[in-house]
Structure 1
Amino acid sequence: MPTQKERNAETRRRLLSAAREVFAEKGYAHASVADVAKRAGRAHGSFYLHFANNEAVLQALLEDAMAQLSLESKTLWQWDEPESGVHKTVRRFIEAYGEDRDLWLLLDQGSSLESTFKKLSDQWFHKLATSIMHGMASAGTPALMPGLDPEVLAQVLAGMLSDSTRALYQENPSWTPDELADEISTIWSLTLGYDQVSTSPTDHA
């Protein structure tokens, strides 16, 4: 027999899943707590045992998606095969973003209206840029121009990846995820020199 903790976890999972469906169907602005509770097969009052309102539900959904995307986008770069690692990292980011495209669209919409979601968006971008900077540090940057700040460059690369991926899934351009991954990883590799110079354990040290 499930414990109370397990039952609570299941109810929370059902509410999150139901909210995602309702938000997609009706739009976040038109979804009600009653809609979410009904879709989850739970009493209206049980909703408030887990969430204060729909904003809290959406925030939880976004935080879960961000945690997963952060895990997926952890650098795969290695000093011996940085160019291959860059492509794998970029490709998986694009795939993971596509799997939760409905939530990222809601985040974009919410960021322009509510400070809570703007803060989440800013935090996520900072995490992405930090992950890229760590990847650059671990693999080395043989072609990095003297005086160029790696932190600033990481933010530029993060903006390129996140904005291009957003356009891919929200604006329906003619390019495919594979084409986008190839283009971005090629630009990154050229910028950082991975296609010209092979690093070594000595160089990395």
Structure 2
Amino acid sequence: MATQKERNAETRRRLLSAAREVFAEKGYAPATVADIVKCAGRSHGSFYLHFTNKEAVLRALLEDAMAQVAIESKTLWRWDEPGASVRKTVRRFIEEFGEDRDLWLLLDQRSSIEPVFKELSDQWFQRLAGGIAREMVATETPGLLRGLDPEILAQVFAAMLSDSTRAAYQEGYSWTGDEMADEISSIWSRTLGYTEMTASAEDGATRPANRRRRRTPDR
């Protein structure tokens, strides 16, 4: 028999899953708490035991997605293989963004009109940049180009990764995840002096880091 703690955890999971489904189907603004509890098969009382309002539900969904990206990135980064780690980390970020694209794009929408989500978006960006900076320090960035400030560079890398991934999903560019990962990780690795080659995730082959694929947006 499930304990009360387990039942509460299951109720929270159902509410979060239902909220995500409702937001995707109806849109965030029109969605109501009543819609969420109906979809989850739970009561209003159960909802308010876990969340104060639908804003709190969305925030919880976003925080879970952010935490997952952070965990994945940390486990993929190896100090003894920095070049390969950059490629794997960038590729996994792109995959995680794709898996939760509905939440990331909803964050973009809400952060433009609601201060609470703008603050969350800013916090996430700083967390992303901070993680990149820590890994740069941990791997001792052997060939960091002269004159570059590591902290500023981490901000630039974070913007490059998050903005290009967002654009790919929002604008419908024809890049594949592997093509994006190759180009971004090549720039990072060359700037940091990790490697002159970028490893392919599929077959272990290498290609020159300065090779460029020309793609045009699907309009």
Normalised by the length of structure 1, the TM-score is 0.91
Paired residue secondary structure (2:52): coil
Shift of 1:93: 0.9
Could you tell me which residue of structure 2 aligns to residue 176 of structure 1? 176
Tell me which amino acid in the other structure corresponds to 1:37.
Answer: V
Separation in 2, partners of 1:102, 1:194: 34
Partners of 1:142 and 1:23 lie apart in 2 by 46
1:16–1:57 CA contact under 8 A, matched in 2: yes
Inter-CA distance 68–79: structure 2 relative to 1 (3 Å threshold) = closer
Amino acid corresponding to residue 159 of structure 1 in structure 2: A
Contact 2:129–2:157 at 8 Å: present in 1 too?
yes
Deviates more, 1:17-26 or 1:169-178: 169-178
Stretches of structure 2 lacking an aligned partner (at least 5 in a row): 198-219
- Give the corresponding residue for 1:9: 9
Matched, 1:31 2:18: no
Residues 58-69 of structure 1 mapped to structure 2, 5 A cutoff: 58-69=58-69
Q: Which residue of 1 aligns with 2:200?
A: none
Q: Is the 2:129–2:154 contact (alpha carbons within 8 Å) kept by the matching residues of 1? A: yes
| SS of match in other structure, 2:83 | helix
SS in 2 for 1:74: helix
Higher relative contact order (CA 8 A, sep 6+): 1
In the alignment, what sits opposite 2:193?
193
Hey, what's the Cα distance between the residues in 2 that align with 1:195 and 1:4? 53
- Work out the number of aligned pairs and report it: 197
Pick the structure with more helix per residue: 1
Using the alignment, how far apart are the partners of 1:36 and 1:80 within structure 2? 47
CA RMSD of aligned residues (A): 1.6
- 1:4 deviates by 1.7
Partner of 2:216: none
Pick closer, same or farther for the CA change 1:173–1:196 going to 2, 3 Å.
closer
Distance 1:23 1:79, change over 3 A: closer
Give 1:150 shift.
0.3
Taking a change above 3 Å as real, the CA distance of residues 196 and 7 of structure 1, as seen in their structure-2 partners, is closer
2:127 pairs with 1:127: yes
Match in the other structure for 1:200: none
> What is the distance in 2 between the residues matched to 1:41 and 1:76?
38
Distance in 2 (CA, whole Å) between partners of 1:6 and 1:79 is 38
Deviation at 1:68, TM superposition (A): 0.5
**Identical residues among aligned pairs (%):** 74
Does the CA contact (< 8 Å) of 2:87 and 2:182 recur in 1? Answer: yes
Instruction: Output the CA distance in 2 between the equivalents of 1:3 and 1:196.
Output: 55
Distance between the aligned counterparts of 1:57 and 1:134, measured in 2?
31
Contact residue 78 and residue 138 of structure 1 kept, 8 A: no
Which amino acid in structure 2 is aligned with residue 132 of structure 1? I
Contact 2:145 2:191 in 1 (8 A): no
1:91 & 1:11 partners in 2: Cα distance? 33
Whether the 8 Å contact between 1:32 and 1:54 is mirrored in structure 2 is yes
AA partner of residue 111 (structure 1): S
Q: Displacement of 1:195 after TM fit? A: 2.0
Q: Where do residues 143-158 of structure 1 align in structure 2 (5 Å cutoff)? A: 143-158=143-158
